[in-house]
Amino acid sequence: MTMQAQDVDVKAAPPTGQSRDAGAAAVRTTNDYVRRWVDSCVSLCQPDRVVWLNGTREERQRLIRQGMDEGVFIELNQEKLPGCYLHRSNPNDVARTEQLTFICTPSQDMAGPTNNWMETKVAYSKLRGLFHGCMKGRTMYVIPFVMGPIGAPLAKVGVQLTDSVYVAVNMGLMTRMGEVAWKQLGDEDEFTRCLHSLGDVNPERRYICHFPIDNTIWSFGSGYGGNALLGKKGLALRIASYLGRQQDWMAEHMLLLGATSPNGEKTYVAAAFPSASGKTNFAMMIPPEKYRNEGWKITTVGDDIVWMWVDGATGRLRAINPEAGYFGVLPGTNEETNPNAMASMSRNTIYTNVALTPDGDVWWEGKTKDPPKEAIDWTGQPWTADCGRKAAHPNSRFTAPMENNPALDPAADDPGGVPVSAIVFGGRRSRTIPLVFQAFNWIHGVYIGATLGSETTAAATGAVGIVRRDPMAMLPFIGYNIRDYLVHWFRMRKKMVDCPRIFHVNWFRKDDQGRFIWPGFGENMRVLKWIIDRARGRAYARETVVGWMPRSKDIDLDGLDITHDQVEALQTINPDDFTSEILSQEELFLKMAGDLPKEMVFQRELLISRL
Ligand code: GTP
Ligand code: SPV
Ligand code: MN
């Protein structure tokens, strides 16, 4: 035991003999690996204070008050929004920065052609330079957390060190934080070492570095979302996907929902859509009135990340959601499109980069039909409805605990997870790609997932609306070589006695006037119903070039003002468009040149020969 880890105040006891900092508490673990690692990070970052967090409600309140003193949080109208606060991030720090995100390994081949790579030693030495003394005058928070329901065989412990009180509060909402983590860790060395500093929040000195071999993440210079809440994309996707490949399980960018039919039959469906492309909405969907009256109910297990393994007893795929909260997109979210999300963020929620209205409420584009007359925009500037600027950032988000979700699935906290009957891939495609089709089999489904294309969104910095290949919606999140990732998907099938059926959907096809043809949101239940019936061997489909497709009469349109002809149009595959689609898939194939798994090559040939 060394001095640093024991003392709350690293330099000297504060004059009062009490800590100057909110929630300061003595070191909370006897785990020597943790203590030694925290000591080494304290020596490197040189914080004034080290505060070990325990994840209690009282502590969260103290942290929020501390953040309010520092100007990090603004209290919202507590009558309307109890326990809710607003945070404005630095305008240069509003989304994940994929170009500044690295997989750090001894050889570039381990990271593969789709990741930014840095050699391990080069990365450590570069980042050590940045972290050196970066927390002088600041507090280092020690955040123990578990990803996954407590007791789940796959549940993983992480410890994040951060100088951001915003990150500390968000980690408390997004993970199972506190004593549970020390308990699960015991005396072992098995935890992800997550070191994070805001630094000077300068994109020139921003690096999000993953060291899968060391089970370590170092993130510097960003306080936003996936860049900074290291349990999420860093641990639960990049590090976890690497571990999963070694240990025969999968970490995927997927939602997980339960669908209960009128006769009580429950089907769990996992779906991978790229960032800001509909996972939260699908996972929290409220079925149309007709379906509700019949007795259909959708419940949420997770909205962003799924860990899956093959159950030895049944040979079937099972899944858990490693997260405990939602970091959800706000623009477009409202009482009509996603009432469960609105309820989830009605209390104990952090709002990031939205507008503040005069009555202490929040607003974002699409929250209500009529915007407020005036507000303070997400940058803190006065805003009026006719000023021509956006009130909220396009990637503004809410952080809410999953317990707030009225549609939370009873199994969301179940360490045993749930069985997965269908896997759905989907992209944002204004043209070419039909509403829904089913893969011929697992290998074909993996090919469909691997060649998934989607128009880019504001969830990552860079151009918006450009079609790019986003394999399994995991392009920015695969923690190793994509070649090995695809092989892993093919091999997982061999461990299963029976496998989930694989589907592709596209809610985003537009007409010539640029309007969405399909109503989306709750109405997606109609497509989900066909998917469930197919997965259970009940619904009809015809064989087409791309896979099994429903005829328009196989999709129930009762109560919708959309005709069967329009659905036929949505399902149309135009041969010319599809030829360009196949050509644009080459973008990915060329990157993987020479390294393409043979299944991919054969599937491409079969597709071309079907055309
Ligand atoms: P990440 O959290 O970034 O991984 O995103 P996500 O996949 O959870 O996306 P989310 O459900 O938050 O949706 C992003 C945007 O797409 C929001 O503006 C939604 O309103 C919109 N959206 C979601 N579902 C639909 C749909 O069925 N149709 C249409 N037109 N828009 C949708
Ligand atoms: C995504 O971009 O896919 C997100 C948001 O879920 S973030 O956590 O910022 O990555
Ligand atoms: Mn996501």
Atom of ligand 2 nearest to the CA of 304: 6
Rounded distance between C-alpha atoms, residue 304 and residue 327, angstroms: 9
On whether the CB atoms of residues 427 and 506 are closer than 8 A, the answer is yes
pLDDT tens digits for range 523-558: 999 999 999 999 999 999 999 999 999 999 999 999
Tell me how far apart the terminal alpha carbons of the chain are, to the nearest angstrom.
68
Ligand 1 proximity of 519 Cβ (cutoff 6 Å) = no
Mean pLDDT for the chain? 95
> From ligand 2's centre to the CA of 225, what distance in Å?
6
Region 219-224: mean pLDDT is 98
Q: Can you give the pLDDT at residue 9?
A: 55
Ligand 1 proximity of 459 Cβ (cutoff 6 Å) = yes
pLDDT tens digits for range 321-366: 999 999 999 999 999 999 999 999 999 999 999 999 999 999 999 9
> From ligand 3's centre to the CA of 12, what distance in Å?
42
Rounded distance between C-alpha atoms, residue 255 and residue 269, angstroms: 8
Distant-in-sequence, close-in-space partners of 270: CB < 8 Å, separation ≥ 6: 252, 254, 255, 256, 306, 308, 319, 420, 422, 423, 424, 500
> From ligand 2's centre to the CA of 304, what distance in Å?
8
pLDDT tens digits for range 115-168: 999 999 999 999 999 999 999 999 999 999 999 999 999 999 999 999 999 999
pTM for this predicted structure: 0.96
Structure tokens at 516: 């969405």
Distant-in-sequence, close-in-space partners of 578: CB < 8 Å, separation ≥ 6: 432, 545, 546, 611
CA dihedral 184, 188, 192, 193 (to 10 degrees): 120
On whether the CB atoms of residues 308 and 420 are closer than 8 A, the answer is yes
CA dihedral 164, 169, 174, 178 (to 10 degrees): 100
Q: What residue owns the CA closest to ligand 2's atom 3?
A: 275
> From ligand 1's centre to the CA of 276, what distance in Å?
5
